Structure 1
Amino acid sequence: MTESDNQSHAFDHKRFLASTSSSAGVYQMYDDGGKALYVGKAKNLKKRLASYFRSSGLAPKTQALVRRIASIQVTLTATETEALILEQNLIKAQKPPYNILLRDDKSYPYVYLSTDQKFPRLSLHRGAKRGKGRYFGPFPNVGSVKESLSLLQKTFKVRQCEDSVFKNRSRPCLQYQINRCTGPCVDLINEQAYQRDVRYTELFLEGKSQELQSELATAMEAASVDLNFEIAADLRDQISALQRIQAQRVVEGEQGDMDVFALAQSADNYCIHLLFIRSGRVLGSKSYFPQDKLGENKEEVLEAFLAQFYLGSKTRDIPLQIVIPLALNGANVLSDALRQARNAKVDIRHNVRGQRLKWLALADESARQNLLSRTSSRAKVQQKYEALQGILGLAETPSRMECFDISHSAGEKTVASCVVFDESGSNPSDYRRFNIKDITAGDDYAAMQQALQRRYKRLQEGEGKLPDILIVDGGKGQFNIARTVLEDLGVMDVYLLGIAKGTTRKAGFETLILDDGSRELTLDSTSIALHLLQEIRDEAHRFAITGHRAARDKARTTSALESVPGVGAKRRKDLLKHFGGIQGVKNAAVDDLKKVAGISHNLAEQIVAYLKSE
């Protein structure tokens, strides 16, 4: 059931509240342009919505929201838990500016073990868990997964190579030579011995270190009795490695999986620090800095964060225990929603003792330190922004800047980069790259034009946020291209700034191109405004050249045969082996290709036709 009020800019809240239900549900606030401002839930919709329109006691941020309301839509739900789940779905879909929004919506990485294979593989996995096998984690970042994979590779030697590589090896690879793999690809280890190593790996990832060490010790003694001293030495080394790891990571008596949250506050700034605890081990941690859009208190900020963190992502891992630093009014509702999402009871605790209290204290100290560091860094960023405002004579301090750069190698694989800086400094989640096509090789002006057109056409269509300042790395030519693109697209209220290398082409001697291109300015090398522009310019250059090198290297290392229909890994290998390389295949006639096993007359014709077209 949906109730709505489509009043124009002057919202008649009294008439709206008179017809609003007192049931549980979700409300959506819109501005006069029909864009969502805020999504909220309530046990009693009428009472909650009336609180926005009281005559006094509202925070300034809430007053700013209320002034922009043109209409409110209400959706009734059977329970408050249903309202919470619907609220998070709407926030994820609409991304209202006054809600707390998580920028990091990527799923966390896992260690994946493909147990359905004769010789299982260990690998890093992110995303939906569709593969047949076991997933261990989550880990806070890719770096911690790679660290664990490296440790397991050295200790238990379970393969980590791609299946396509594994199936086509004729001799052991470098990993075997440096004693980090047992060579299952060429049958240098039997299935039974390999499965033993897989079992050891599983025990380690499950956190069963004591059981694992006991098994290894028994196996070492048996090997010694049988005079297999080389095997016994390997097992001894594995036990030593495990003992070192256990001393660093494992907490005796704690075997549960849980997430531990702490929250630190300074004025309107918040830091929420998360510890990932799996099988009694701290797998890692991560800090989040949610923006308080409505002047809420600690409890409201943490509750909104937790709801979006767990319910706003379908791939998020929900542990059986969640430890938080303070009591939440909606803890029972959140716990019920998490139970439905996980299909098991989820315990949310704030009064903890023992090791959980120690973890909470560790998370609390990390949150305080990270918030202090961030607020100090943001103060410095704000100082630079204000200096740039003064230099350019802007009415307001810029809150968002974008910078473009072009990278290529003699015209090959041209890539344009767009980096974004906001109030906190660089914002990598908003960075974009553009693969430039259909231009004359090496034409930087055409490349810049194409990138700007693609970027700002999307922004004009409402797919993002326009910057206050657009920076182009280049001289007047690049500047004029950017100005023409903005004029053609009707982009207004964006300050265009060019940054060109001076005559010496050294840092500190850059020339700024301002206004319509008629004014140039050279800043003192000690200017913090210049340092800011250099930082943005260098970041755009780094991001562009990284993308270009990746595209170039991929093109140079990819065989032309990989795109030929009907030519798989085995046939590709046989063709390259028979003709001595791709050039030999390209020069071969249909009859020559037919001499290779598995290549029919029709397939040979397809290969010739495809390679000629390439």
Structure 2
Amino acid sequence: MDKFDPKPVLNQIPHQPGVYRYFNDRDEIIYVGKAKDLRNRVSSYFVNSNQHSRKTRQLVFQIRRIEFTIVYTEWEALLLENQLIKNYQPRFNILLRDDKTYPYICITRERFPRIISTRKVDRSTGEYFGPFASVRTMHSLFDMFRALYNIRSCQLVLSPENVEAGKFKVCLEYHINNCKGPCEGLVSEAEYLAEVEQIRQILKGNLAPAENYLKQKMADAAARMEFEEAHRWKIRYDLLGDYQNKTTVTNAKIGDVDVLTVVSDEESAYFNFMKVANGHIIATEAMEVRKKMDESDAELLAMVLVEMQQRYGDEAREVLSNLMPEGELNKPVSVPKIGDKRKVVELSLKNVLFYRREKAEQRAAETTATTSRKDRVLIKLKADLQLKSLPRHIECFDNSNIQGTNPVASMVCFKNARPSKKDYRHFMIKTVEGPNDFASMHEIVTRRYTRILNENEPLPDLIIVDGGKGQLSAACDALKALGIYGKVPIVGIAKRLEEIYFPEDSVPVYIDKRSESLKLIQQIRDEAHRFAITFHRDRRSKTSLVSELEGVEGIGKLTATKLLKHFKSVKALREHSLEEIAEVVGKDKAGKLKAHFERTLL
């Protein structure tokens, strides 16, 4: 893959607000970003790359083309970025959940309007309120509207001509006092619309018109001495008061504000949004955003605020938060420290902290219920190393030599986070002279996977190399020569600081020292080292024994090796008779050995 040269494009990008798009070698959009200064922001990806995170370096490595769009303000850039991310869903961008599944309350645009719930928004058919992240909250509102008002539920076309012609008859809803019978002209359009207006104001968070309306109806009935009717209006008035007590969260003078708070950890950011109107929470939603490019909380806050305003409207005159968002927005944002506004922010923070804890407990419960401990470790290892699949089959390589003598290597295999000792392998280095760990690593990786390919055996899910950048590079070169580089994830672990190195990445990754995944990597590395050292020790011992026997006149290396293979040790050889030794190497050599042993005993 040819390396991308950004200089020609960077020279064309202006110092203006806008949105930039990165494309890969398949001409797919892989990242969309916004900037107050396009040239400065785009240039920052290609300078001081050693200071970038590994995710950013991965992004830059895949860039093959850049496009940009100039806008007038940062706010317009934020809106365009939001729309492009939704349209193209780039792999390096966070993806905010779409609102198409949320229900709305709609006041239809027709004579004698209806109040309905719907998940499809068509502004030409009515006035929409929502969306409602909680369906239970929406149904509670419907229950209250049915108790307070007599709005029709039928879908009849109540045009003046149809009503005057007497085309319709009242249904059961009229007889049980749920409808006032507009289909037969039993209620005036003005009286009916007055009740619809009360519902509209309640949905907007303004309960005062509804309170005044019900209070006046109660007083009029009492003035006419119609106390039963007055009592019915009082029940409705008390019901509205009960709803007000439950929804009022602060001083009504706070006005119409949006509240958005955020808390985060390494992997996700958690948000709570509340839409407040006249001191009433009329909409609320909590959401989790999985981080893709180590985005800051301030950056994510601006993106989520755009999303919330698109879902719930942007009528609020001010946004309250626990953190200032990045860039300029279309509404003033403040971080209150005292007063009623601070109380609203604290309420939102309580909700978002509860939501984060709930999510953590949910994930923990799911993990406990569906996976064993070893799977939890593998899931964590998959996340820490950003693997595409669980590393159930891991192979680890290590070299062992002392001053270049008897160079050997080992490969240990772990399956499902447990040693699979029947799959362990020893290697005697054949092509390398002297203490050259890099060349030795290249040889053993080549030999191991040449055999795997020839025997059509499955490749591992992860390869670990005991060593830093040099050993890892040698192993990668071997995989490239075999044509399987990129098909198997491979990392190196350096002993001194337990650094994890990735191919073509000069900056190591440090996994939390308390992490189970790092402990598993260390266990595998230590086992490979133990296995290599044991083999190396056995090889040195055997070599020294062969050298001792070679000191006997008439005994060469082949004969010494043959004797040790048969009798296992020099001590055992001493204890056998001349005839037993002669059966292996002949009488002449057996006699020389016995004479040597007798002399060395003196």
TM-score range, shorter chain: 0.5 to 0.7
Describe the superposition over 1:253-310 as per-residue Cα deviations: whole angstroms up to 9, x where unpaired. 3463322111111222211111122332112421111111111221122123223444
- Check the 8 A contact 1:38/1:97 in 2, yes or no: yes
CA distance in 1, matches of 2:278, 2:324: 25
Q: In structure 1, what is the equivalent of residue 56 of structure 2? A: 62
Q: In structure 2, what is the equivalent of residue 25 of structure 1? A: 18
- Check the 8 A contact 1:272/1:289 in 2, yes or no: yes
CA distance in 2, matches of 1:87, 1:192: 46
- SS of corresponding position for 1:236: helix
Offset at residue 126 of structure 1 (A)? 4.6
The yes-or-no answer on 1:347 pairing with 2:329 is no
Q: Which amino acid is the alignment partner of residue 289 of structure 1? A: E
- Check the 8 A contact 2:257/2:275 in 1, yes or no: yes
2:192 to 168, 191, 194: 194
Describe the superposition over 1:20-49 as per-residue Cα deviations: whole angstroms up to 9, x where unpaired. 444433221112111111111223233212
- SS of corresponding position for 2:21: strand
- SS of corresponding position for 1:163: coil
- SS of corresponding position for 2:289: coil
CA distance in 1, matches of 2:31, 2:247: 43
List aligned pairs for 1:414-453, cutoff 5 A.
none
- Check the 8 A contact 2:252/2:278 in 1, yes or no: no
Q: In structure 2, what is the equivalent of residue 376 of structure 1? A: 361
List aligned pairs for 1:266-305, cutoff 5 A.
266-305=265-304
Q: Which amino acid is the alignment partner of residue 320 of structure 2? A: V
Q: In structure 2, what is the equivalent of residue 40 of structure 1? A: 33
**Percent of aligned positions with the same letter in both sequences?**
28
CA distance in 1, matches of 2:59, 2:213: 63
Q: In structure 2, what is the equivalent of residue 511 of structure 1? A: none
Q: In structure 1, what is the equivalent of residue 92 of structure 2? A: 98
Q: Which amino acid is the alignment partner of residue 89 of structure 1? A: Q
- Is the deviation greater in 171-180 or in 270-279? 171-180
Against the structure 1 CA distance between its residues 295 and 204, is the aligned structure 2 distance closer, same or farther, given a 3 Å change threshold?
Answer: closer
Task: Name stretches of at least 5 consecutive residues in structure 1 with no aligned partner.
Answer: 1-7, 336-345, 402-467, 469-492, 494-614
Offset at residue 19 of structure 1 (A)? 5.1
Q: In structure 2, what is the equivalent of residue 244 of structure 1? A: 242
- Check the 8 A contact 1:256/1:278 in 2, yes or no: yes
Describe the superposition over 1:41-78 as per-residue Cα deviations: whole angstroms up to 9, x where unpaired. 22323321222222322122212222222222233445
Q: In structure 2, what is the equivalent of residue 265 of structure 1? A: 264
Against the structure 1 CA distance between its residues 368 and 205, is the aligned structure 2 distance closer, same or farther, given a 3 Å change threshold?
Answer: closer
CA distance in 2, matches of 1:376, 1:400: 24
CA distance in 2, matches of 1:29, 1:349: 33
Against the structure 1 CA distance between its residues 206 and 70, is the aligned structure 2 distance closer, same or farther, given a 3 Å change threshold?
Answer: closer
- SS of corresponding position for 2:264: strand
The yes-or-no answer on 1:321 pairing with 2:321 is no
- Check the 8 A contact 1:114/1:131 in 2, yes or no: no
TM-score under structure 1 normalisation? Answer: 0.54
CA distance in 1, matches of 2:307, 2:212: 43
CA distance in 1, matches of 2:201, 2:304: 34
The yes-or-no answer on 1:163 pairing with 2:148 is no
- Check the 8 A contact 1:203/1:212 in 2, yes or no: yes
CA distance in 1, matches of 2:10, 2:366: 44
Q: In structure 2, what is the equivalent of residue 235 of structure 1? A: 233
- Check the 8 A contact 1:144/1:283 in 2, yes or no: no
The yes-or-no answer on 1:75 pairing with 2:72 is no
CA distance in 2, matches of 1:220, 1:190: 20
- SS of corresponding position for 1:130: coil
Q: Which amino acid is the alignment partner of residue 348 of structure 1? A: V
List aligned pairs for 1:179-578, cutoff 5 A.
179-191=177-189, 193-250=191-248, 251-254=250-253, 256-310=255-309, 316-330=313-327, 332=328, 334-335=329-330, 346-351=331-336, 353-381=338-366, 387=372
Q: In structure 2, what is the equivalent of residue 526 of structure 1? A: none
Offset at residue 376 of structure 1 (A)? 3.2
Q: Which amino acid is the alignment partner of residue 51 of structure 1? A: S
Describe the superposition over 1:195-246 as per-residue Cα deviations: whole angstroms up to 9, x where unpaired. 4433443444444434433343333232223233332222121112122112
Against the structure 1 CA distance between its residues 280 and 34, is the aligned structure 2 distance closer, same or farther, given a 3 Å change threshold?
Answer: same
Offset at residue 248 of structure 1 (A)? 1.4
CA distance in 2, matches of 1:288, 1:226: 53
- Check the 8 A contact 2:204/2:282 in 1, yes or no: no
- Check the 8 A contact 1:109/1:124 in 2, yes or no: yes
CA distance in 1, matches of 2:28, 2:280: 45
Offset at residue 371 of structure 1 (A)? 1.2
CA distance in 2, matches of 1:113, 1:261: 28
- Check the 8 A contact 1:25/1:80 in 2, yes or no: yes
Describe the superposition over 1:440-482 as per-residue Cα deviations: whole angstroms up to 9, x where unpaired. xxxxxxxxxxxxxxxxxxxxxxxxxxxx9xxxxxxxxxxxxxx
- Check the 8 A contact 1:271/1:289 in 2, yes or no: yes
Describe the superposition over 1:143-199 as per-residue Cα deviations: whole angstroms up to 9, x where unpaired. 422221221111112223333699898554343344332333344444454344334
- Check the 8 A contact 1:261/1:323 in 2, yes or no: yes
Q: In structure 2, what is the equivalent of residue 123 of structure 1? A: 116
Aligned residues: 380
1:153 to 124, 146, 165: 146
- SS of corresponding position for 1:270: strand
Against the structure 1 CA distance between its residues 247 and 96, is the aligned structure 2 distance closer, same or farther, given a 3 Å change threshold?
Answer: same
Against the structure 1 CA distance between its residues 304 and 212, is the aligned structure 2 distance closer, same or farther, given a 3 Å change threshold?
Answer: closer
- Check the 8 A contact 1:139/1:276 in 2, yes or no: no
Task: Name stretches of at least 5 consecutive residues in structure 2 with no aligned partner.
Answer: 391-460, 462-486, 488-602
CA distance in 2, matches of 1:349, 1:396: 40
CA distance in 1, matches of 2:65, 2:190: 68
- SS of corresponding position for 2:45: helix
CA distance in 2, matches of 1:255, 1:181: 37
Against the structure 1 CA distance between its residues 181 and 40, is the aligned structure 2 distance closer, same or farther, given a 3 Å change threshold?
Answer: same
Describe the superposition over 1:74-123 as per-residue Cα deviations: whole angstroms up to 9, x where unpaired. 33445444433332332222111111211233285443334651x33222
Q: CA RMSD in A?
A: 3.7
TM-score under structure 2 normalisation? Answer: 0.55
Q: In structure 2, what is the equivalent of residue 421 of structure 1? A: none
CA distance in 2, matches of 1:49, 1:100: 19
Against the structure 1 CA distance between its residues 121 and 81, is the aligned structure 2 distance closer, same or farther, given a 3 Å change threshold?
Answer: closer
Q: In structure 1, what is the equivalent of residue 505 of structure 2? A: none
Q: Which amino acid is the alignment partner of residue 180 of structure 2? A: T
